[in-house]
Amino acid sequence: MRARRQRRRGIKLKHLGMIRKGKTTRRPPPKKPSNNQKDPVGVYCRVRPLGAEDEECCIEVISNTTIQLHAPDGLKANRNGEFKETQYSFKKVFGIKTTQRELFADVAKPLVEDLIHCKNGLLFTYGVTGSGKTYTMTGSPGQGGLLPRSLDMIFNSIGPYQAKRYVFKPDDKNGMEVQNQVDALLDRQKRDSQTSVPKTPTTRRTDPEFADMISPEEACKAGGVDEDSSYSVFVSYIEIYNNYIYDLLEETPFDPIKPKPPQSKILREDQNHNMYVAGCTEVEVKSTEEAFEVFWRGQKKRRIANTQLNRESSRSHSVFIIKLAQAPLDADGDTVLQDKSQVNVSQLCLVDLAGSERTSRTRAEGSRLREAGNINQSLMTLRTCIEVLRENQMCGTNKMVPYRDSKVTHLFKNYFDGEGKVRMVVCVNPKADDYEETLLVMRFAEMTQEVEVARPVDRPICGFAAGRRQRNQAFKDELTHRLEERGGPVDGESPTVLNQLLQSFHPLPPCEISGPNDDVTLPRLIEALEKRHKIRQMMVEEYNKTANMLKSVLQEQDSNLLSKENFIQEQRGRLGEKDKMIQNQKNEIDRLEKKSKMLEYKIDILQKTTNIYEEDKRSLQHELESREQRLQREMSEKRRMETRMQGIVTDAKLKWEKECERRVNAKQLEMQNKLWVKDEKLKQLKAIVTEGKTENRQPQRPSREKDKVAAKRSVSPSPVPTGPLVRPLHRRSHSAGGERWVDHKPTTNVDLDTVLQPNIPNAIKVNAPNEKALSKCDKYVLTHQEFASDGEIQTKLIKGEVFKTRGGGQAVQFTDIETLKQENPLAASRKRRSSETGPDGEPMERNWTDVETRCSVAVEMRAGSSLGPGYQHHGYPKRRKP
Ligand code: ADP
Ligand code: MG
């Protein structure tokens, strides 16, 4: 059973939590965005004890926030066991043993504190008739309810700081004015003179009806009361019956013969959008007792009216309004500041609602039934308003809340629309008879706590320095003390200063009158008295002067003090600012220090890295240097080697060149010898052959001398191989006929005196080739001499054809070379001449004539050729530009 309950409660709470969560996100924007903090309506549940012990119970408190309803046996049967148990959660649940004091501490105390701190509050009790609403709100003797306790707490808190009566005076627009001291005094005197108005009771518990409501040891006090403000409490008490408002404190002359029915009041809205009962009596009260007396007065009136008009009190709503006016003391700390804008008025409404049951429990008939309907109507409106508010807040809708449909809701409109703290105590009677009504009450109560109300904001404080009241009090104390010292109090025991003064007066002369004709005593007495009178006047003047002086001095001192204090305050403010700045800078410094540490650390790391890199660099440089040195060394070594090698190579080359030349020469010689031998053999053979054939022709045999010469000469073959084998003695150019030659013979040539020299007719003989000669001819021949290695002289006939060039000059194209060899006739005397000094000095030709020709003659002889080596010679045609 227990476990099941727990589980159910868990589900219920979870459900509630979900609703709340949804609400915060979907709440519509407030109509008056003065502050955006909201609090849900605080709903508390109080369960009263059963009237009789044997009654059936349908409620169980299962925790300090949850109660459980059990359907009574009769209902269970009817409803097939459905909805057997339901749980409801509230901000707090108060069980049957809860004392009035405990309830007050939780429910009303915060509201009273708010009231003292200029914030409005609304507290109402809700429940069916007989559930303990009135008990909770008012209480009973010895068991004071929320109302007397609230009043008591207020007066305990502001008691010493209350303003004199009539300093605050309500205007007729729900506001509060500050009267000047004179007007207030006059009002007070007027009140005192009216005997009909009962005076404030001087002792507690004079009326037995509210005796012992609160025991003194239960006294409560609010904290943080501003001592430099002056306070006044005003109470109003109204009843709303059948949607009419009645002022329960209104003074109406009582007519026992024809009692006047009470006049209903109307609601108005003040400039702060707060609703108020127009023309409602507001009674200024100075103590708990006085306030309670006023309350009882209203109660009595209500009872009488109900009896007279045959009304049922459970059908009416009663509203007790506690208004607290507060205003700062002036700079002196003596009187309330005469500034209406500085007056703050807050109010706490304590509402004992009518029974919430749907139908009259007493068998209402006729007019009573109609009333019952109306009363129910106002509670219905309350429920509707709460529902719409909840919907608007949870779903973001903007439905109109029907506050105006009933006086109760209209009166408290601004608590829901504007700001304030709203609390509700739901009273329940656990008896089974009330089950169905209680169920409705519970549902309404749960819904109500989902409505949120804007939290009241703190009021700004006035600009005066704090501690004004204390200072003023201290000043007054000081003054009385001094006066006491001087003249003693009025009832003083030993007025020293006064005695001294009195002693300084001359004693009165004997004033016994001897007879009717005593002309001496009376004038003397008159004179003495006149003298005394004069002295007295002087003293009074003196006293006044001194007093005035003292007062001005004190005032001056006070203003000085005040300005000093203001200054101190200012300085404190500055100090605070500076402190903040210092704190900020400290934080900044801290931050920077941290940063610098961090950077230092980084620098350290970088330094280390740099060191490592530098070390690396150094070692690498070192290595580089050593390598460079090695390279240098190797290079120089290489150079040395190169030069050495070059030396060796040139040496070797020279050697081999020499060797080659030597060998070539040797070979040439050898070959020439061989050639010569063969030539000789061939000649001999030829001679033998021709001798036999031409014996009859008698050919002239050349002389031995000539043979020798002829044998020695080497005839270069003509380029025309078809020529005769033996040439005529006078060698003629085969192309002499018709052609014109340039015969170039350098002067250095040796006259060989031989027949083998060319003899060209019509040739132009020149020592050096010239343009003129070349232009006239078409053939060219150079006779070039040089010494062969064997000491013979070698003559070359270099032939060419002359062409006309495009530029108008001549070019020679060599076509043929003939080489003749002969013994140097100047061998002994003349030096061998180098071909280098050739007539045209062209090295190509020199080479060609010198080595090539000789080689081709010597080496390119074809073996077995029938023509012999002389005919194997080829002329290399070479083209060259002039
Ligand atoms: P309501 O105002 O709701 O109609 P009352 O406050 O008049 O109900 O209570 C009806 C009766 O029950 C009164 O006699 C009251 O003393 C008594 N009563 C109500 N609540 C409690 C309670 N918590 N403890 C003791 N008695 C209570
Ligand atoms: Mg009641």
Cβ of 135 closer than 6 Å to ligand 1, yes or no, is yes
CA separation for the pair 567, 465 (Å, rounded): 10
Cβ of 316 closer than 6 Å to ligand 1, yes or no, is no
Report the amino acid identity of residue 687: A
Is the model more confident about 869 or about 278?
A: 278
The β-bridge partners of 140 are: 143
Cβ of 427 closer than 6 Å to ligand 1, yes or no, is yes
Q: Percent of the chain at pLDDT above 70?
A: 73
Report pLDDT for 854.
45
Residue 700 has pLDDT above 60, yes or no: no
How far apart are the CA of 133 and the centre of ligand 1, in A?
A: 7
What sections of 426-508 are H helices per DSSP? Answer: 435-448, 468-487, 496-504
CB 411 within 8 A of CB 467: no
CA separation for the pair 783, 743 (Å, rounded): 8
CA separation for the pair 694, 684 (Å, rounded): 15
Cβ of 142 closer than 6 Å to ligand 1, yes or no, is no
Determine if residue 31 is left, alpha or beta; phi over 0 gives left, psi from -120 to 50 gives alpha, anything else beta: alpha
Ranking 414-428, 461-475, 823-837 by mean pLDDT, the lowest is 823-837
Report the alpha-carbon angle 224-227-233, nearest 5. Answer: 90
Residue 420 has pLDDT above 70, yes or no: yes
Residue 374 has pLDDT above 70, yes or no: no
How far apart are the CA of 763 and the centre of ligand 2, in A?
A: 175
Q: Percent of the chain at pLDDT above 90?
A: 37
**Other residues' Cβ atoms within 10 Å of the Cβ of residue 268:** 14
Instruction: Identify the top-confidence range among 259-263, 579-583, 703-707.
Output: 579-583
Please state the φ and ψ torsions of residue 787, each to the nearest 5 degrees.
-95, 130
Ligand (nearest to CA of 139): 1
CA separation for the pair 200, 214 (Å, rounded): 18
- Collapsing DSSP to helix, strand or coil, 308 comes out as helix
Residue 5 has pLDDT above 60, yes or no: no
Report pLDDT for 492.
44
Report pLDDT for 635.
94
Ligand (nearest to CA of 98): 1
CA separation for the pair 518, 539 (Å, rounded): 32
Q: Which of 852, 841, 743, 837 is nearest to 799 (CA)?
A: 743
Instruction: Identify the top-confidence range among 494-498, 721-725, 737-741.
Output: 737-741
Q: Which of 758, 704, 751 is nearest to 727 (CA)?
A: 758
Cβ of 356 closer than 6 Å to ligand 1, yes or no, is no
Report pLDDT for 709.
44
Report pLDDT for 79.
55
Report the alpha-carbon angle 143-148-150, nearest 5. Answer: 120
CA separation for the pair 169, 160 (Å, rounded): 19
Q: What is the DSSP letter of 721?
A: T
Residue 807 has pLDDT above 80, yes or no: no
Ligand (nearest to CA of 129): 1
Report the alpha-carbon angle 279-284-285, nearest 5. Answer: 140
Ranking 244-253, 736-745, 828-837 by mean pLDDT, the lowest is 828-837
Q: What is the largest CA-CA distance in the chain?
A: 250
Residue indicated by tokens 């005094």? 185
How far apart are the CA of 500 and the centre of ligand 2, in A?
A: 70
Cβ of 134 closer than 6 Å to ligand 1, yes or no, is yes
Cβ of 133 closer than 6 Å to ligand 1, yes or no, is yes
Residue 49 has pLDDT above 60, yes or no: yes
Cβ of 225 closer than 6 Å to ligand 1, yes or no, is no
Ligand (nearest to CA of 313): 2
Is the model more confident about 467 or about 823?
A: 467
**3-state helix vs strand vs coil in the chain, percent to 5:** 45, 15, 35
**Atom of ligand 1 at shortest range from CA of 48:** 23
Report pLDDT for 232.
95
Report pLDDT for 468.
80
How far apart are the CA of 427 and the centre of ligand 2, in A?
A: 11
Compute CA 881 distance to the chain's CA centroid, rounded to the nearest angstrom.
94
Strands (E), 266-403: 267-269, 275-277, 283-285, 317-328, 344-352
Instruction: Identify the top-confidence range among 261-275, 608-622, 723-737, 790-804.
Output: 608-622
In this prediction, residues 292-317 reach a mean pLDDT of 87
The pLDDT tens digits of the residues spanning 569-588 come to 999 999 999 999 999 999 99
In this prediction, residues 758-778 reach a mean pLDDT of 81
Cβ of 647 closer than 6 Å to ligand 1, yes or no, is no
CA separation for the pair 303, 824 (Å, rounded): 186
Please state the φ and ψ torsions of residue 637, each to the nearest 5 degrees.
-60, -45
CA separation for the pair 505, 236 (Å, rounded): 61
Q: What is the DSSP letter of 755?
A: T
Q: What is the DSSP letter of 852?
A: I
Is the model more confident about 308 or about 562?
A: 562
Cβ of 127 closer than 6 Å to ligand 1, yes or no, is yes
In this prediction, residues 123-141 reach a mean pLDDT of 93
- Reported confidence tier of residue 534, pLDDT bands at 50, 70, 90: confident
Ranking 564-578, 610-624, 703-717 by mean pLDDT, the lowest is 703-717
CA separation for the pair 290, 202 (Å, rounded): 9
Report pLDDT for 470.
81
How far apart are the CA of 314 and the centre of ligand 2, in A?
A: 5
CA separation for the pair 831, 828 (Å, rounded): 8
**Atom of ligand 1 at shortest range from CA of 98:** 23
In this prediction, residues 329-350 reach a mean pLDDT of 86
Which strands make up the sheet holding 85-89, listed edge to edge? 59-61, 66-70, 85-89
- For atom 24 of ligand 1, the residue with the nearest CA is 48
> Which helix (H) or strand (E) element contains residue 397?
none
- Site to substitute for ligand 1 among 44, 45, 46, 48, most atoms within 8 A of C-beta: 48
How far apart are the CA of 130 and the centre of ligand 1, in A?
A: 6
CA separation for the pair 705, 714 (Å, rounded): 16
CB 327 within 8 A of CB 343: yes
Ligand (nearest to CA of 127): 1
CA separation for the pair 495, 484 (Å, rounded): 8
In this prediction, residues 367-375 reach a mean pLDDT of 49
Strands (E), 275-343: 275-277, 283-285, 317-328
Residue 498 has pLDDT above 70, yes or no: no
Please state the φ and ψ torsions of residue 161, each to the nearest 5 degrees.
-105, 20
Cβ of 471 closer than 6 Å to ligand 1, yes or no, is no
Residue 696 has pLDDT above 70, yes or no: no
Report pLDDT for 858.
38
Strands (E), 219-291: 229-241, 244-247, 264-265, 267-269, 275-277, 283-285
Residue indicated by tokens 């016994």? 512
Residue 32, burial from CB neighbour count under 10 angstroms (0-12, 13-18, 19+): exposed
Cβ of 125 closer than 6 Å to ligand 1, yes or no, is no
- Collapsing DSSP to helix, strand or coil, 712 comes out as helix
Residue 867 has pLDDT above 80, yes or no: no
Is the model's pTM score more than 0.75?
no
In this prediction, residues 319-343 reach a mean pLDDT of 87
Q: Which of 156, 464, 163, 557 is nearest to 335 (CA)?
A: 163
Is the model more confident about 246 or about 77?
A: 246
Cβ of 429 closer than 6 Å to ligand 1, yes or no, is no
> Which helix (H) or strand (E) element contains residue 360?
none
CB 93 within 8 A of CB 442: no
CA separation for the pair 20, 42 (Å, rounded): 14
> Which helix (H) or strand (E) element contains residue 13?
helix 2-26
Ligand (nearest to CA of 135): 1
- Collapsing DSSP to helix, strand or coil, 239 comes out as strand
Residue 317 has pLDDT above 90, yes or no: yes
Report pLDDT for 196.
55
Residue 366 has pLDDT above 80, yes or no: no
Cβ of 769 closer than 6 Å to ligand 1, yes or no, is no
Residue 879 has pLDDT above 90, yes or no: no
Is the model more confident about 734 or about 217?
A: 217
**Atom of ligand 1 at shortest range from CA of 135:** 6
- Collapsing DSSP to helix, strand or coil, 693 comes out as helix
- Reported confidence tier of residue 259, pLDDT bands at 50, 70, 90: low
Q: To the nearest whole number, what is the mean pLDDT of the chain?
A: 78
In this prediction, residues 700-723 reach a mean pLDDT of 43
Is the model more confident about 27 or about 398?
A: 398
In this prediction, residues 541-560 reach a mean pLDDT of 90
Joined tokens for residue 238: 């109204």
The pLDDT tens digits of the residues spanning 80-105 come to 555 578 899 999 999 999 999 999 99
Report pLDDT for 712.
43
- Reported confidence tier of residue 54, pLDDT bands at 50, 70, 90: confident
Cβ of 139 closer than 6 Å to ligand 1, yes or no, is no
- Site to substitute for ligand 1 among 53, 100, 126, 135, most atoms within 8 A of C-beta: 135
Residue indicated by tokens 């009769």? 74
In this prediction, residues 280-292 reach a mean pLDDT of 93
Report pLDDT for 826.
61
Residue 698 has pLDDT above 70, yes or no: no
Ligand (nearest to CA of 128): 1
Cβ of 426 closer than 6 Å to ligand 1, yes or no, is no
Report pLDDT for 208.
54
- For atom 20 of ligand 1, the residue with the nearest CA is 132
